[in-house]
């Protein structure tokens, strides 16, 4: 409450700011009495102010807790129990965990992650490198990799780790060694191998912890998690044989280990049933809808013999191929059968629901994170394969 008076002791104006509580009417009456009885005689005792109706009991300020020891004392548990509860450990009973978290929230406690990182010599951060071709269209048209990225992020969140998204500017071993030694990240997950994997083999000879989404090499030089690409190609070949197709066009990039394995599986299934079956290749630089469309349009305009089946390296490419076929007045699947790869969510809603090879990105994301943490713990995990399944629709 703020008071303004004249030099003679009378009151010209009373301005009230209710800072202690109490009603305005009570406060005004008390101030008037005090001024009349005390201020003019200069015998006003300020202690009366604190006993006035204006001063209601004030809430005690909550003390901000700064250590786990304080929370442990309030919750009547041990410090390790508090630590486990704050990390959402299943070792702590739900009721105890709720009690500890409630105390932490009420007292504005927050974990000092920087201090924890110094103690453990870990950043609790994993770098994820999306190894995409450098085309402008590809940067915005890689739905499979973004779907896989989402599942990797979920796996890291469960383990209370942050994700550092990086661009594959260079396939340079020194660049990734510096990333780890400078404590930007504890390890790396590569989404894709790119064309050729020599740089990954060189990286495997360093102390950099990493895992790769891609095709497993015969020598197991580094840990991979990937689709069973040989089986996926074989499933496509067997489906074409069921439909009576013998002249197949593979649309992909065989410089990528995954694509080469899919192509091998396709040809193996066809030749096993019919040695006269033909497999031709239409090489493309990346795996977008636009690239599939333009490559197929050019192929059809070239005057070469028409295939009766097409196996595309990705669903996006397959959709582009179908649009090009239909623009060329070729009926799908009556004249040309088409099978994609990945089973993107959009595949079933395409203008012709797409027949494709499904691979489980949710399981893949979990496996990539699990394998990397095995390396953190000093292990040498083996490669893992995600099951593949033929999904028959209308193409």
Residue scoring higher pLDDT (118 or 390): 390
Classify residue 195: in a domain, yes or no. yes
Distance CA 211, CA 190 (A): 6
Classify residue 60: in a domain, yes or no. no
The overall longest dimension of the chain from CA atoms, in Å, is 120
Domain identity same for 41 and 139: no
Reply yes or no on whether the pLDDT at 27 is more than 60. Answer: no
Domain identity same for 379 and 235: no
Domain identity same for 135 and 252: no
Domain identity same for 248 and 354: yes
8 A C-beta contact, residue 378 and residue 198: no
- Find all residues with CB under 8 Å of 25, minimum gap 6, and list them: none
Q: Which residue has the tokens 């070239």?
A: 302
Residue scoring higher pLDDT (46 or 392): 392
Domain identity same for 234 and 334: yes
The number of residues making up the chain comes to 395
Classify residue 290: in a domain, yes or no. yes
Domain identity same for 268 and 348: yes
Domain identity same for 18 and 102: no
Domain identity same for 351 and 373: no
Sign of the alpha-carbon torsion through 129, 133, 136, 142: negative
Nearest-Å Rg of the Cα atoms of the chain is 35
Distance CA 123, CA 206 (A): 19
Distances (CA, A) of 318 to 38, 75, 311, 313, 347: 93, 59, 8, 8, 10
Q: What is the pLDDT of residues 31-70, one digit of tens each?
A: 445 444 544 444 444 344 334 444 445 454 567 777 888 8
Looking at residue 374, its pLDDT comes to 94
CB atoms within 10 A of CB 160: 11
8 A C-beta contact, residue 141 and residue 290: yes
Give the lowest-confidence range in 165-169, 359-363, 391-395: 165-169
CB atoms within 10 A of CB 306: 14
Predicted model pTM: 0.70
Domain identity same for 79 and 159: no
Domain identity same for 260 and 345: yes
As for how many domains the chain has, the answer is: 4
What's the angle, vertex CA 140, arms to CA 135 and CA 141, rounded to 5?
85
Reply yes or no on whether the pLDDT at 247 is more than 60. Answer: yes
Structure token pair of residue 351: 């203008």
Residue 15 domain boundaries: 2-50
Which class for 177: exposed (0-12), middle (13-18), buried (19 or more C-beta within 10 A)?
middle
Q: What is the pLDDT of residues 334-367, one digit of tens each?
A: 999 999 999 999 999 999 999 999 998 889 999 9
Which class for 20: exposed (0-12), middle (13-18), buried (19 or more C-beta within 10 A)?
middle
8 A C-beta contact, residue 225 and residue 203: no
Distance CA 146, CA 4 (A): 67
Q: What is the mean pLDDT of the chain?
A: 81
CATH number at residue 98: 1.10.260.40
Domain identity same for 235 and 274: yes
Distance CA 74, CA 354 (A): 60
Classify residue 271: in a domain, yes or no. yes
Q: What is the pLDDT of residues 103-142, one digit of tens each?
A: 888 887 776 656 555 555 678 899 999 876 555 444 445 6
Percent of the chain predicted with pLDDT > 90 = 50
Strand order across the 356-359 sheet = 278-283, 247-252, 309-312, 337-342, 356-359, 388-391
Classify residue 63: in a domain, yes or no. no
CATH number at residue 308: 3.40.50.2300
pLDDT band at residue 218 under the 50/70/90 scheme: confident
8 A C-beta contact, residue 16 and residue 24: yes
Domain identity same for 295 and 319: yes
Classify residue 119: in a domain, yes or no. no
């Amino acid at each position: 409450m703020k008071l303004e008076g004249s030099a003679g002791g009378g009151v010209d104006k009373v301005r009230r700011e209710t800072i202690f509580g109490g009603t305005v009417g009570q406060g005004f009456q008390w101030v008037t009495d005090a001024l009349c009885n005390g201020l003019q005689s200069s015998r006003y005792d300020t202690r009366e102010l604190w006993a006035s109706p204006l001063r209601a009991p004030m809430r005690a300020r909550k003390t901000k807790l700064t250590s786990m020891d304080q929370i442990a004392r309030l919750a009547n548990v041990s410090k390790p129990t508090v630590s486990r509860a704050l990390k959402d450990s299943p070792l702590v009973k739900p009721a105890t965990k709720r009690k500890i978290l409630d105390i932490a929230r009420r007292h504005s406690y927050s974990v000092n992650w920087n201090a924890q990182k110094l103690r453990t010599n870990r950043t609790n951060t994993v770098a994820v490198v999306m190894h995409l071709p450098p085309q402008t269209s590809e940067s915005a048209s890689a739905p499979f990799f973004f779907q896989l990225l989402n599942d990797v992020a979920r796996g890291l969140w469960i383990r209370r780790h942050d994700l550092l998204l990086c661009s594959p500017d260079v396939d340079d071993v020194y660049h990734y060694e510096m990333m780890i030694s400078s404590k930007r990240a504890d390890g790396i997950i590569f989404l894709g191998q790119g064309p050729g994997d020599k740089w990954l083999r060189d990286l495997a000879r360093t102390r950099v912890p990493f895992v790769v989404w891609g095709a497993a090499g015969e020598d197991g030089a580094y840990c991979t998690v990937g689709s069973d690409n040989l089986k996926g190609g074989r499933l496509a070949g067997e489906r074409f044989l069921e439909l009576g197709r013998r002249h197949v066009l593979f649309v992909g990039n065989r410089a990528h280990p995954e694509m080469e394995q899919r192509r091998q599986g396709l040809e193996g299934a066809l030749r096993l049933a019919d040695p006269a079956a033909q497999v031709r290749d239409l090489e493309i630089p990346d795996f977008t809808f636009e690239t599939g469309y333009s490559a197929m349009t050019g192929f059809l305009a070239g005057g070469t013999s028409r295939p009766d089946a097409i196996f595309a390296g990705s669903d996006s490419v397959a959709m582009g191929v179908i649009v090009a076929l239909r623009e060329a007045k070729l009926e799908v699947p009556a004249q040309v059968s088409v099978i994609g790869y990945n089973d993107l969510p959009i595949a079933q809603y395409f203008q012709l629901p797409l027949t494709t090879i499904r691979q489980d990105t949710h399981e893949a994301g979990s496996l990539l994170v699990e394998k990397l943490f095995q390396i953190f713990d000093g292990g040498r995990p083996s490669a893992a394969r995600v099951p593949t399944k033929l999904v028959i629709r209308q193409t």
